[in-house]
Amino acid sequence: MFQKIFLKAQSLFLVCKKYLVAFALIVVLVSVVKLFSYSHSKTDTAYQDLFHSNYKVYDVPIPQDLSFADEKVPTTDFMVREALEKELLINTYWPSQTLLLEKRANRWFSIIEPILKVHNIPDDFKYIALVESQLTNAVSPQGAVGFWQMISPTAKGYGLEVSDEVDERYHVAKSTEAACKYFAEAYAQFKDWTLVAASYNLGITGIQAQLDKQKVKTFYDLLLTDETSRYIFRILSIKEIISRPKLYGFLLRKKDLFPPILTKKITIDSAITNLAEFALAFKINYKILKLYNPWLRSNALSNPEKKKYTIELPQGSVNIYDIDGNYYGSNKLSPMDSINLMFNFTISSDTTITTSPPK
């Protein structure tokens, strides 16, 4: 009896299945037709109604407790509030750029933050590099270079080497240290971190001249050029969005962020006549060597003064993602790599590599 019932039910299901499949195909076909003809067949009024019912643009929240380097931002001042709102709107509704900034920040802030801390510079100053260069080795029309966008005389004044073969403005750690020296010098002048940040755009002399001319003491009371006025609010807006991305609609997963690049370091104190051959000696190519060491600006390093330079190489493989884009870190060092790191490398003039244990 139960077998007969089961067989009848099975037969009924097979019949219904044919109709269900046919119905599904009709639905798909109608949807496709609508997809390709929807906008063309609608009247202007119907099209506008469709647009208004589906397209939404929202204003951005203005934080009440915003500060820069623990200095409160006076958002009750309508000029301050509206200037901040302008930059928040621009960066919120320029999602491709802001997404890239957030991705890059995850990689490079891990290098910048400890250096700021060692030099007693507030952590918020890391956002200056983000605004200056978008954390790329950009070159401005005025010749400012690197993450911190320094011109050559300024860089040399704060201890960086700038030559045809070596330009340490492209060295993230060393250029950050140079920027810290500038920030410390500016703070000794102004005793105000917001003015220090503004001076990175206009200069210490430029900010001091405007303070004296306008008889005020704070950045928010100064009338400045549009570029310098926007500068602080651009920093504040990027800080706010990257600190609280979900509040502004940025929903990145951890795997979406650019991971830090793990490196091993070697020290050289002699010439490298051919950087391509040098790279091959370490089982990498010229492209990787330059990507890891953008401060090497030529295809050789003459080093007549026998200075010590630290060159960074991949710690393991450059393949740090799996097929699904998940980050699993660089490969572990091989026993030979571990041994090599215990030695000081000296590169001779013919690019042969010799090692000697540290004395």
Q: What is the DSSP string of 123-186?
A: GGGHHHHHHHHTTS--B-TT--BTTTTB-HHHHHHTT--BSSSBBGGG-HHHHHHHHHHHHHHH
CA pair distance 287, 334, nearest whole angstrom:
23
SS (H, E, C) 326-359: CECCCCCCCHHHHHHCCCEEEECCCCCEEEECCC
Q: What is the mean pLDDT of the chain?
A: 85
pLDDT of residue 85: 96
Using CA atoms, how far apart are residues 166 and 269, in angstroms rounded to an integer?
14
CB 310 within 8 A of CB 267: yes
How far, in Å, CA of 62 to CA of 82, rounded? 9
| Tens digits of residue pLDDT in 242-272 | 999 999 999 999 889 999 888 999 999 999 9
- What is the DSSP secondary structure assignment for residue 316, as one 8-state letter? S
Please give the average per-residue pLDDT across 308-328, as a whole number. 80
- Which pLDDT does position 55 carry in this prediction? 81
Instruction: Please check whether residue 185 is in contact with residue 209, taking contact to mean a CB–CB distance below 8 angstroms.
Output: no
Q: How far apart are the first and last CA of the chain?
A: 94
Tokens, residue 177 = 């240290």
Task: Report the alpha-carbon distance of residue 328 to residue 350 in Å, rounded.
Answer: 38
pTM of the model: 0.79
Report the C-alpha gap between 110 and 116 in whole angstroms: 11
Both tokens assigned to 48: 């506008």
Query: What DSSP element (H or E) covers 37?
Result: helix 2-41
CB 192 within 8 A of CB 72: no
Comparing 5 with 91, the larger pLDDT belongs to 91
Own/partner contacts of 96-101, CB < 8 Å, gap of 24 or more, are 97/134, 98/238, 98/241, 98/250, 99/250, 99/252, 100/134, 101/130, 101/134, 101/135, 101/238, 101/242
**pLDDT value of position 52:** 79
Q: How confident is the model at residue 261, as a pLDDT?
A: 87
Q: Give the pairing of strands 353-356 and 344-347.
A: antiparallel
User: By the 8 A CB rule, do 297 and 164 touch?
Assistant: yes
Q: Is 159 left (phi over 0), alpha (psi -120 to 50) or beta?
A: left
Q: What is the pLDDT of residues 149-193, one digit of tens each?
A: 999 999 999 999 999 999 999 999 999 999 999 999 999 999 999
Query: Both tokens of residue 227?
Result: 């570029």
